[in-house]
C-alpha cells in the first residue's frame, strides 16, 4: 500500500512532557476502513499517543501524516476541519448544557445546516436512547449515557477519522456492548477509527489491527484476532 493512502501514519514519533520522554520512536499506520487499537497498561503512553495525533501535544521529533499530509505540530482546532475528531478520556462534556447543545457544539466547524441536520439524525440512529434525552442536562445523565453523548458529539463534526481515548472505562457491560457496536458501525459507515483501550479484551474484539504499547514503545503489533491468540498478550493483557 502506498504511504499516502494511509489515513494516519506515524513515523519515529517521540513525545515528552518537558524534558521527560513519554513516547519513544513510535510508528503506526491506520488504513482506510480499519479500526486500529492501541492497548497497554496504565501509564504506557496510550493517551499521550492519541493526544499527539489529535494535535493536543506537539511531538519532539518524528512525523504524523493525515491522509498523506504532514500535520505534526498542527493544532487540534485546525485538525477537526481536516476530518479528525477526538472522544477525550473522561468525556469532557459541558455538564450544565443539554445533550442537544453538547451535540451541536461538535458541529462547530460545519456551516451547511442541512448537512448538520442529516448528520444529527444519523448520529442519533446510533444512540436511540439519546433521542428522548435531548433536552436533558448532560451532567445529570449516567456515566454510560454521558459516554454516548461524548461519542455523539465527536461524530457531529462528520469526521473521516474518529479517535477514542478509553471510551469504555468504568462503564456497565451493557453500555460497553453498545459503545463497541457503535464503533464497528462507525467504521462500516466509512469512518476510520483509532481506539485507545486499557481493556484489551474489548479492544481486540472490536479492532482490525492492534498495537501493544509498553513504557512508551510499541512492543508488538498485528491483526487483532491474531494478537488475541498470542501467548504473551494473553498472559499480560487478557488474564489468560
Ligand atoms: P492511562 O491508561 O493511565 O491513561 P496511558 O497509557 O494513557 O495511561 P499516558 O497518560 O499517556 O499513559 O502517560 C504516559 C506517561 O507520561 C506516564 O509516565 C505519565 O506519568 C506521563 N504523563 C502523562 N501526562 C503527563 C503530564 N501532563 N505531565 C507529565 N507527565 C505526564
- More confident of the two residues 238 and 183: 183
Listed residue (46, 34, 83) closest to 184, CA to CA = 34
199 lines ligand 1 (CB under 6 A): no
How, if at all, do strands 6-17 and 84-87 pair?
unpaired
Question: What whole-number distance in Å separates Cα of residue 164 and Cα of residue 146?
Answer: 14
Would the CB of 42 count as within 6 Å of ligand 1? yes
Closest CA to 52 of 63, 44, 41: 63
User: What is the C-alpha to C-alpha distance for residues 72 and 56, in angstroms, rounded to an integer?
Assistant: 10
Q: Whose CA is nearest to atom 1 of ligand 1?
A: 42
For ligand 1, whether the C-beta of 17 sits within 6 Å is yes
pLDDT at 2: 52
Average pLDDT over residues 56-81: 93
Q: Return the residue whose CA atom lies nearest to atom 19 of ligand 1.
A: 43
Q: What is the pLDDT of residue 232?
A: 86
Whether 44 lines ligand 1, by a CB cut-off of 6 Å, is yes
Q: Is the pLDDT at 3 greater than 70, yes or no?
A: no
For the cut 80, the answer to whether the pLDDT of residue 117 exceeds it is: yes
Does position 1 have pLDDT exceeding 50, yes or no? no
Ligand 1 mutation pick, 22, 52, 167, 200, max ligand atoms within 8 A of CB: 22
Predicted pLDDT of residue 33: 95
Predicted pLDDT at 222: 96
Distance between CA atoms of 212 and 113, rounded to whole angstroms? 41
Q: Answer whether 8's CB lies under 8 Å from 26's CB.
A: no
> What is the structure's pLDDT at 233?
84
Residue 83 alpha carbon to ligand 1 centre in Å = 26
Task: Please give the share of the chain, as a percent, with pLDDT higher than 70.
Answer: 98
State residue 58's pLDDT score. 93
CB-CB contact of 159 with 191 (8 Å): yes
Residue 226's pLDDT band, with cuts at 50, 70 and 90, is: very high
CA distances 7 to 75, 159, 177, 226, Å, are: 18, 12, 26, 23
pLDDT at position 90 over 90: no
Residue 35 CA to residue 61 CA, distance in Å, equals 26
The pLDDT confidence band at residue 4, using thresholds 50, 70 and 90, is low
Model-level pTM?
0.93
The answer, yes or no, to whether residue 79 has pLDDT greater than 50, is: yes
**Among the atoms of ligand 1, which is closest to the Cα of residue 48?**
11
Q: If pLDDT is split at 50, 70 and 90, which confidence band does 121 have?
A: very high
Q: How many CA atoms lie within 13 A of 66 on its CB side?
A: 25
**Average confidence (pLDDT) over 47-56:** 95
**So what's the pLDDT on residue 162?**
97
Amino acid at each position: 500500500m502506498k504511504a499516502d493512502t494511509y489515513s494516519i501514519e506515524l513515523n519515529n514519533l517521540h513525545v515528552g512532557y518537558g524534558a521527560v520522554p513519554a513516547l519513544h520512536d513510535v510508528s503506526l499506520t491506520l488504513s482506510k476502513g480499519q479500526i486500529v487499537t492501541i492497548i497497554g497498561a496504565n501509564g504506557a503512553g496510550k493517551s499521550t499517543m492519541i493526544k499527539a495525533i489529535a494535535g493536543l501535544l506537539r511531538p519532539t521529533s518524528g512525523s504524523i501524516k493525515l491522509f498523506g499530509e504532514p500535520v505534526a505540530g498542527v493544532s487540534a482546532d485546525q485538525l477537526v476541519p481536516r476530518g479528525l475528531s477526538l472522544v477525550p478520556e473522561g468525556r469532557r462534556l459541558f455538564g450544565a448544557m443539554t445533550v442537544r447543545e453538547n451535540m451541536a457544539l461538535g458541529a462547530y466547524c460545519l456551516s451547511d445546516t442541512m448537512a448538520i441536520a442529516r448528520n444529527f439524525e444519523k448520529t442519533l440512529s446510533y444512540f436511540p436512547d439519546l433521542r428522548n434525552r435531548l433536552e436533558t442536562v448532560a451532567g445529570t445523565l449516567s456515566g454510560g449515557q454521558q459516554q454516548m453523548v461524548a461519542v455523539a458529539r465527536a461524530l457531529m463534526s462528520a469526521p473521516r477519522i474518529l479517535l477514542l481515548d478509553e471510551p469504555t472505562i468504568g462503564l456497565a457491560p451493557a453500555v460497553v456492548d453498545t459503545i463497541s457496536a457503535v464503533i464497528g458501525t462507525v467504521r462500516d459507515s466509512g469512518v476510520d477509527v483509532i481506539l485507545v483501550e486499557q481493556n484489551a479484551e474489548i479492544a481486540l474484539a472490536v479492532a482490525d489491527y492492534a498495537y501493544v504499547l509498553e513504557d512508551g514503545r510499541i512492543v508488538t503489533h498485528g491483526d487483532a484476532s491474531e494478537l488475541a491468540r498470542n501467548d504473551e498478550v494473553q498472559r499480560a493483557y487478557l488474564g489468560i
